[in-house]
Amino acid sequence: MMHLPIEVGLLLLCLIAWPIFRWGFRNLPGEGWQIAWVIPARNPSGDGLSWPAVNITFYGVISALAYAVAAFAYLFLMAAFGQSLVGASVYAGILLAIGVPASKWVNRVVEGQAGHTIGGAVFTVIASALPALWLTQWCVGLVGEVRLDGLIAVTCASASYVLGESIGRLACLSFGCCYGKPISQCTSLQRALYGPSATVYRGRMKKIAYASNLDGEPVVAVQSIACVLLFALFVVVVWLLWRGHAPFALVAAISGSQLWRAYSETLRADFRGRDGFTVYQGMALIGAMLAPVYAWLLPSSAAPLVPQAALGWKSVLTVEVLLACQLLGLGILAFMGRSYITSARLDFQLHAPKAD
């Protein structure tokens, strides 16, 4: 498998991803796919039989999986192009340190409420991609001669982001957020395009229910469409990168994903700010325009880098890398998994022991 042409490898990846996406599209909007775990708190009632509890959401679980898979894909691509995993890890760490907190504070600034916004986080990361790269190159320079090609690093990070958001949109399906507008409110052309694939959410605890009272009503399947389009974009970006077209891959990854984000805002019904043209659309369009600037500013290597899948697999299939990706996922779960919208209470019953 390590010596297969890139086209065959990407085809196999599509064959693996498609049934997972189909299952998610059918099941995650259902009522039973919002709360993953309920964890008792430390202050039970006086009788000890009723405990307040914290809900851990599937939104957090799937988001954690998306981050972990994206990080693994990023490290694989970097290693396949002969890049130092030390430099790659430092760059990823800086971008995560910027983007993860930004998902909360941008949401609070734009929407005035607690929660997470991937759009705001992505814009913050895109805007800081080059300063973060220069900081990384300075940091790794302190520890010796560590190879880090700027164009490859930014392109691999962009490709892995596209994959991560593709998977992460399944989290929105489970939580019932980022939902589309009702099919009944669409134009005739939109009904023809999006009606057959409409999503119907079930459950009063879904955000679409308590925020817009649209549970049970067919809405534009924005998240499902995003999953498919972004995954297809990831495949194209990796193929371009693998075949030596890194500048085009960079522009495709950033501009393609951000232009979709700007358009998809017109299909959404959840609150996105008080303006007709939303702040998130402005962020997405600025991000899309930054991509060709980055491709122009970042010079290509004097000698074209030839990717080697075997080298990539050898570098990432190690205890250190696998453990790091798992720890990243656990960190994201701790950061994004707890529900502040819902709560729970556990009631315990004591059954009399059966007589012998």
Q: To which residue do tokens 């529900």 refer?
A: 339
Q: What pLDDT is recorded for position 48?
A: 64
Decide: helix, strand or coil at residue 177: coil
Give the bridge partners for 219, in sequence order. Answer: 182, 199
Secondary structure element (H or E) that encloses residue 274, with its range: none
> Residue 136 to residues 93, 94, 148, 151, 241: CA-CA distances in angstroms?
9, 8, 9, 13, 22
Average pLDDT in the chain: 88
Q: Which of 60-74, 90-104, 119-133 tops mean pLDDT?
A: 60-74
CB 259 within 8 A of CB 284: yes
Mean per-residue pLDDT, 70-91? 94
> Residue 3 to residues 6, 7, 9, 239: CA-CA distances in angstroms?
9, 11, 9, 15
* pLDDT category of residue 140 using cuts at 50, 70 and 90: confident
Which has the closest alpha carbon to 212: 247, 251, 178? 178
Mean per-residue pLDDT, 279-286? 89
Q: What pLDDT is recorded for position 306?
A: 86
CB 247 within 8 A of CB 295: yes
CA 75 to chain centre: 16
Q: What pLDDT is recorded for position 1?
A: 43
DSSP secondary structure code for residue 39 in this structure: E
Instruction: Give me the residue spans of the domains in the chain.
Output: 6-42+52-344
Give the model confidence (pLDDT) of 318-348 as tens digits. Answer: 999 999 999 999 999 998 888 888 888 888 7
pLDDT at 355 over 90: no
Which has the closest alpha carbon to 26: 236, 197, 156? 197
Q: How far apart are CA 252 and CA 119, in angstroms?
A: 17
Q: Which is higher by pLDDT, 231 or 210?
A: 231
Phi/psi region, residue 150 (left: phi>0; alpha: psi -120 to 50; beta: rest), is: alpha
- Torsion 131-264-172-196 (CA) sign: negative
pTM for the whole thing? 0.91
DSSP secondary structure code for residue 113 in this structure: S
CB 288 within 8 A of CB 262: yes
